[in-house]
Amino acid sequence: MARNKRFVKYAKHSNVDSQSLYIDEDARLRLVDELKERGSRRILVVCDNSIRRLHPFDELIDVLNSEGFRTFVYCQPGNILMDRDIEGGLKIYGEYNCDTVIAIGGTSEIDCGKLIAACVTNPVKSLSQFVGIDKINNEIPLLCTILTENCASSSTASAEFFDNTAGKWMTVISGCLVPHVVIIDTDFSERVALDNAVSSALSSLCITIEAYTSPVAGDFPEYRASAVIASMILFKNIEKFWNNTTDTFLRKQIAVGGFYAGLSTRKTGIGYAHIIMHTILSRYNVVHGTGLTRILHLVLQEQMADPKICEGLAKLAKAAHFCSMNLANDRAAESLINNLKRLYTKVSGEKEEPLVHAEDIDSLVSEVERESKTYVLSKQIDSKALYRIFEALS
């Protein structure tokens, strides 16, 4: 309980400036006026090679250069954000005396931009010094994000990366990491592969469900309301999009759902399913969105025994109109859990292959228990429940 009180204290004093949000085709081109108003001159653009080859990317760089900005591009070499990627981008930022970061992509590229910006004003010997809650003291330079997927990173107060020294995924939580400008532009998003678009949307749905049922969510009703909005948008539209991938309006809807999902997590941290997912990702090659959804389904089944969690799931199910308002809490909670499984079964297109090796379960359980203490969760799941979850995944 003491850990929860410390987290609530951090969350209550974590002030986040409002974000500028642009949503439309060609929204990226509206960035010029925003950058001029904020005094930008020299810009580090973070992306990956697939994004750099796109026509909208070239068009954006041409417009920025023609308007008098100097642009310098850092391309991440892989799909997984590693500590060396952040260090590589930071080196270019410093060499060319940049004052602004524009991150174009999904979670990996946006989190790369966040942590580069954090390092600029908070120099550290190792990125591990940021890991945990509220370890970043100084505001970051101007950070703009252009979404290509349906991730939540553009509005979260967190970032994640793989630490090669420790051999595991790390999470940084700080209000300083919230980007200043967010752009949802379907010229970029419509070029994202279906699997990536759906996976990122499922990840957003999972984190918003965990945010709503967080032990501290009740202290921040305005952010809990964002979880309801995100759940309604994502539950309603992910399957529609799966069946109609050329509908740019659906892409826009799902991207907005991801933005609200990020908002919902700002004051609540991360949940058990997310921690389990990162523990698995540190050892195995797993698709994030479908893997996280499958894990969350198992976690929620275990948490149903907790009356507070059950009540939270029931409230979310009723607020999102999954069931009658008069339905008993346990039945309402079950309706949400069942809808979650039905959705990921429908759109995953995969059989439920084992995600972990049985011989690793003991060490996986120990790792999850250690991480849950770091991220201030009350003990909602005991060791026996974690064993059952990992056994179901093996």
* 132-133 and 168-173 beta bridge pairing: parallel
Q: Specify the range with the lowest mean pLDDT, choosing from 24-28, 110-114, 115-119.
A: 24-28
Mean pLDDT, the chain, rounded, equals 90
What pTM was estimated for this model as a whole?
0.92
Q: Work out the pLDDT band at 7, boundaries 50, 70, 90.
A: low
- Are 226 and 165 part of one and the same domain? no
What is the mean pLDDT of the segment spanning 310-314? Answer: 92
Q: Is the pLDDT of residue 374 over 90?
A: no
Q: Is the pLDDT of residue 1 over 60?
A: no
Instruction: Say if residue 30 is exposed, middle or buried (CB neighbours under 10 Å; 0-12, 13-18, 19+).
Output: middle
Q: Is the pLDDT of residue 157 over 60?
A: yes
Pick the more confident residue, 247 or 87. Answer: 87
* pLDDT tens digits, one per residue of 252-293: 899 999 999 999 998 887 889 999 999 999 898 887 888 899
Pick the more confident residue, 132 or 69. Answer: 69
Token pair in block for residue 341: 């499984």
- Are 359 and 279 part of one and the same domain? yes
In this prediction, residue 248 carries a pLDDT of 85
Q: Work out the pLDDT band at 350, boundaries 50, 70, 90.
A: low
In this prediction, residue 188 carries a pLDDT of 85
CB-CB neighbours of 303 under 10 Å: 24
- Are 200 and 183 part of one and the same domain? no
- Are 198 and 185 part of one and the same domain? no
- Are 128 and 255 part of one and the same domain? no
Say how far apart CA 113 and CA 331 lie, in whole Å. 43
Pick the more confident residue, 323 or 357. Answer: 357
CATH at 159: 3.40.50.1970
Pick the last residue of a domain from 189, 221, 248: 189
In this prediction, residue 25 carries a pLDDT of 74
Give me the long-range contacts of 277-282 (CB less than 8 A, separation at least 24).
278/160, 278/168, 278/169, 278/171, 278/371, 279/168, 279/169, 279/364, 279/367, 279/368, 279/371, 280/355, 280/356, 280/364, 280/393, 281/169, 282/162, 282/167, 282/168, 282/169
- Smallest CA-to-CA distance from 369 within 356, 388, 382 is with 382
Full residue range of the structural domain in which residue 387 is found: 194-393
- Are 175 and 199 part of one and the same domain? no
Amino acid code (one letter) for 321? H
In this prediction, residue 331 carries a pLDDT of 93
Output DSSP code: residue 352.
-
CATH at 371: 1.20.1090.10
- Are 165 and 202 part of one and the same domain? no
What is the end-to-end Cα distance of the chain in Å, rounded? 32
CB distance 197 to 149 below 8 Å: yes
Say how far apart CA 323 and CA 24 lie, in whole Å. 33
Pick the last residue of a domain from 189, 210, 232: 189
In this prediction, residue 2 carries a pLDDT of 46
Pick the last residue of a domain from 189, 210, 225: 189
- Are 84 and 148 part of one and the same domain? yes
Pick the more confident residue, 44 or 308. Answer: 44
- Are 21 and 151 part of one and the same domain? yes
What is the mean pLDDT of the segment spanning 321-337? Answer: 90
Say how far apart CA 128 and CA 126 lie, in whole Å. 5
- Are 157 and 217 part of one and the same domain? no
* pLDDT tens digits, one per residue of 213-241: 988 888 888 889 999 999 999 998 999 99
- Measured over all CA atoms, what is the biggest interatomic distance in the chain, rounded to whole angstroms? 62
- Are 89 and 234 part of one and the same domain? no
Count the domains in the chain.
2
* pLDDT tens digits, one per residue of 164-201: 988 989 999 999 999 999 999 888 888 888 888 898 99
- Are 185 and 231 part of one and the same domain? no
